[in-house]
Structure 1
Amino acid sequence: MSEPSLGFVCTPQPRVLLRNVEDYVNLVQAAIAPKDMVFYSFLKPWLGDGLLLSAGDKWSSHRRMLTPAFHFNILKPYVKIFNYSTNVMHAKWKRLVSEGSTHLDMFEHISLMTLDSLQKCVFSFDSNCQEKPSEYIAAILELSALVAKRHQQIFLHTDFLYYLTPDGQRFRRACRLVHNFTDAVIQERRRTLPVQGVDDFLMTKAKTKTLDFIDVLLLSKDEDGKQLSDKDIRAEADTFMFEGHDTTASGLSWVLFNLAKHPEYQERCRQEVQELLRNREPQEIEWDDLAKLPFLTMCIKESLRLHPPVTVISRCCTQDIVLPDGRVIPKGVTCLISIFGTHHNPSVWPDPEVYNPLRFDPENIKERSPLAFIPFSAGPRNCIGQAFAMSEMKVVLALTLLRFRVLPHEEQPRRKPELILRAEGGLWLRVEPLSARPQ
């Protein structure tokens, strides 16, 4: 759930590509705020001025107001939603396997599952999108694909030309559909909000159901007691839906791929989950379980290092930046920070292409810079939803390994950086349902 990747596009601003930890330390500590809007502007008609695209005082104010939405008290009930959505996906996998389809595209299935969870967590809405078509979900998938496609077509970076094309018209239609859905939820929810006694309302609602993202946004206030406008709420909700589904799906798909290639690590994770859930009915992951899966967590982190969902981010220098070697990046220069390059830097990560979860053993991380591993970015503009994303990945991976053995496909996938790190033609794996649980 970080920011979309950014490749090289033609812009008048000078650019610098960085992948050294020491250089990134200086950037994080300096006044780096605005992003390179050449690419990010493609998202503006869809996402508005949400946290991803806003800057300055508006970003600072919204960041403070949204931080409580990701407090563990809010996230805790979401674990039940993660369990439920994963159960739906697994039931579909078992049906497909029984029908002879043992090779599955992880991106396709997991993206629908993360979107299913997000609709419940953001809107308290069940579209059943894993089992039947959903116009709203289809629109989000189409918007993501269209933005990635436009990014590769430099002659369509101009809005005037783009909106004359069939893709531009499809983008506008999908935007309208997504905005209409979000607006309708906001308007309906506003009618149910109390004029006073908000704290009692929150406590009552939290006891009866999950407090969703829209609830938190509607009730958020800044230091002066000012609330978010409906337009701002829509922007933040749409941003969360966009940032939260593809990045988490990428992270989960690649960790399953890595564990399929390393059955010894897969089996160790499985045993950890089996021991945790032994003699428990139903076999579901609870909030307190998330801290009791240390090796599985190490496997997720090593996969995020090797295959970071977001490969590159950009920042614009608001002041001169002095690098450790004495060179200066002048004010106004756009820095492309290569998360992929940082994670594959052999001076920090020996044998960087080797998948080794023990890199994240507590003893092995003591001497390593915290900026050597930045799948959720770092600094003030790091990913606000990283605890949400890690919680979801742990639940889904634990339940998947509990119920299925994951095996590699015949062909090795090729990395394909788009908005997030994908695989050319999909990321295909074989799945085998496991027999009865061990006693």
Structure 2
Amino acid sequence: MPQLSLSWLGLGLEAASPWLLLLLVGASWLLARVLTQIYACCENSRRLQCFPQPPKRNWFLGHLDMIPPTEQGMKKVTQLVTTYPKCFMIWMGPIIPVITLCHPDTIRPILSASVAVAPKDMMFYSFLKPWLGDGLLLSTSDKWSCHRRLLTPAFHFNILKPYVKIFNDSTNVMHAKWQRLISEGKNRLDMFEHISLMTLDSLQKCIFGFESNCQEKPSEYIATILDLSALVTRRGHNLLMYMDFLYHLTPDGQHFRKACRLVHDFTGAVIQERRQTLPDQDVDDFLLAKAKSKTLDFIDVLLLTKDEDGKMLSDEDIRAEADTFMFEGHDTTASGLSWVLYNLAKHPEYQERCRQEVRELLRDRDPKDIEWDDLAQLPFLTMCIKESLRLHPPVVFITRRCTQDVMLPDGAVIPKGVTCAISIFGTHHNPAVWPDPEELHRTDVRHERDEGGAGADAAALPRAARPRGAAQEA
């Protein structure tokens, strides 16, 4: 039987073993993969030349840290959207392109595409996975659709109405704390820190029915939620930490795992305690009784929810949804509220008008608490909130990864496999979308009267939501 000769590789007969052949095949496969990736990157670079891009820092870093998570970074976004009003491309390192979309015309093809064509990009979201699991934020496809359908009853207005009392109580605690600080001679405070504690206090009551008193005394669970949020943000700005095996070796990675365990243990304990008190009677009667007593919370709804086949959510699914709402609900709400107060403080004439609108609504009422039906009776305050959210959106961008080529209205094509960053902040500050985007208010003063004569004073109203042109459909 003839011997296999590898002399052409400089190897003797003794080297012609199956292991070396396997090594040769493996090296060839690896080389082929590398060459394929290089070719794909070159081909993508060629196809992406139709997208404008700002100057790179250098060939290796690309545009990394060009937009830091600071005020200067947001100013840089404003400059970029002024220069590139439709979209622009940046490079995360030497080979990772990200197309930033900042106009409704370019955003629409991505957001209107099916989830199969433009799913969530998991590069950053994967950092949250050990903490939030497969909740609504991170789940995709059929699981997302199923959970979205099952969670819809939790947001029926009959369930949400009693929460207004919780919001009032938590806000009153915060106000009392501020009054105490003023009486002690303090006239400066970290607004975001105080409002974050207030939103976390509200969420614990609404989601778990749990009184933590976290605004008045330290709470290990609340402190852990804040730690996890900070750790995820910090990891997102360090490219080396994108690799799990490296991150888990760092002090931040070890702290993150420990914090996840603490949060999961808390949520799991609440779920188990509630399961033991589940009713034997009809679920609808139980929900009605809970709603009347104003004690129905998010965990109750999740524990009693069933799909079309009568299947209930698992403890792991319930934990993921509860943890997701604790994370997504506290930080974004606190950010939005803090910026509303900041903008009203900068414009005392609007602040006074909002105050008068509330006083007029609550006139001759005791106790003077806002109720559910009152929320539709505050048009000027609502416009101020919306305009503040335009200027300072709590979430500045979201990402999608194209699974197939997507054509934009101008004929440019986003290649398959490329990540798109939909810049919410950039769109809100785009002069091609909004006239004078950095201004908080309209410059025209006008008074409008309806036919009945009651009228609606529109003098110096904030713009609220009046983009020009195509933005009307966004």
Question: TM range, normalised to the smaller chain?
Answer: 0.7 to 0.9
Alignment check: 8 A CA contact 1:31 1:318 kept = no
1:364-407 per-position Cα deviation (integer Å, ceiling 9, x unaligned): 579763554xxxxxxxxxxxxxxxxxxxxxxxxxxxxxxxxxxx
Instruction: Confirm whether residue 283 of structure 1 aligns to residue 283 of structure 2.
Output: no
2:120 matched residue in structure 1: 35
Q: How far 1:194 moved relative to its partner?
A: 2.0
1:384 matched residue in structure 2: none
2:40 matched residue in structure 1: none
1:256 matched residue in structure 2: 341
Alignment check: 8 A CA contact 1:118 1:244 kept = yes
Alignment check: 8 A CA contact 1:219 1:227 kept = yes
Check 1:252–1:371 CA distance in 2 against 1; reply closer, same or farther (3 A cut).
farther
Aligned partner letter, 2:136? L
Question: How many residues are treated as equivalent by the alignment?
Answer: 366
Q: For the residues of structure 2 that align with 1:368 and 1:205, how far apart are their CA atoms?
A: 46
Query: Quick check: 304-313 or 217-226, which moved more?
Result: 217-226
TM-score with structure 1 setting the length = 0.80
CA-based RMSD of the aligned residues comes to 1.9
1:149 aligned to 234, 254, 265, which one? 234
Check 1:186–1:370 CA distance in 2 against 1; reply closer, same or farther (3 A cut).
farther
Query: Quick check: 317-326 or 117-126, which moved more?
Result: 317-326
Alignment check: 8 A CA contact 2:164 2:372 kept = yes
Q: For the residues of structure 1 that align with 2:93 and 2:319, how far apart are their CA atoms?
A: 31
SS of equivalent residue, structure 1 residue 46: helix
Query: Quick check: 325-334 or 51-60, which moved more?
Result: 325-334
Alignment check: 8 A CA contact 1:49 1:232 kept = yes
Q: How far 1:341 moved relative to its partner?
A: 0.6
Q: How far 1:328 moved relative to its partner?
A: 1.6
Query: Quick check: 198-207 or 297-306, which moved more?
Result: 198-207
Instruction: Confirm whether residue 120 of structure 1 aligns to residue 222 of structure 2.
Output: no
Q: For the residues of structure 2 that align with 1:10 and 1:37, how far apart are their CA atoms?
A: 18
1:319 aligned to 377, 401, 404, which one? 404
SS of equivalent residue, structure 2 residue 276: helix
Aligned partner letter, 1:162? Y
1:406 matched residue in structure 2: none
Instruction: Confirm whether residue 23 of structure 1 aligns to residue 111 of structure 2.
Output: no
Q: After superposition, where does 1:79-118 map in structure 2 within 5 Å? A: 79-118=164-203
1:269 aligned to 346, 354, 358, which one? 354
2:243 aligned to 154, 158, 175, which one? 158
Which structure has the higher relative contact order (CA within 8 Å, separation 6+)? 1
1:48-83 per-position Cα deviation (integer Å, ceiling 9, x unaligned): 010111111111111111122112111111000000
Aligned partner letter, 2:309? D
Alignment check: 8 A CA contact 2:199 2:330 kept = yes
In the TM superposition, structure 1's runs of 4+ consecutive aligned residues that sit over 4 Å from their partners are 7-13, 359-362, 364-368
Aligned partner letter, 1:18? L
SS of equivalent residue, structure 1 residue 104: coil
SS of equivalent residue, structure 2 residue 434: coil
Instruction: Confirm whether residue 369 of structure 1 aligns to residue 471 of structure 2.
Output: yes
- Which has the greater radius of gyration? 2
Q: For the residues of structure 1 that align with 2:470 and 2:352, how far apart are their CA atoms?
A: 28
Aligned partner letter, 1:126? E
Alignment check: 8 A CA contact 1:31 1:317 kept = no
Q: For the residues of structure 2 that align with 1:156 and 1:365, how far apart are their CA atoms?
A: 39
Check 1:11–1:196 CA distance in 2 against 1; reply closer, same or farther (3 A cut).
farther
Alignment check: 8 A CA contact 1:359 1:365 kept = no
SS of equivalent residue, structure 2 residue 189: strand
TM-score with structure 2 setting the length = 0.74
Q: For the residues of structure 2 that align with 1:361 and 1:191, how far apart are their CA atoms?
A: 48
Aligned partner letter, 2:344? L
2:287 matched residue in structure 1: 202
Aligned partner letter, 2:416? K
2:389 matched residue in structure 1: 304
Q: How far 1:228 moved relative to its partner?
A: 0.8
Q: For the residues of structure 2 that align with 1:193 and 1:279, how far apart are their CA atoms?
A: 42
Alignment check: 8 A CA contact 1:24 1:371 kept = no
Instruction: Confirm whether residue 63 of structure 1 aligns to residue 148 of structure 2.
Output: yes
1:295 aligned to 351, 365, 380, which one? 380
Structure 2 gap segments, 5+ residues each:
1-68, 74-90, 443-460
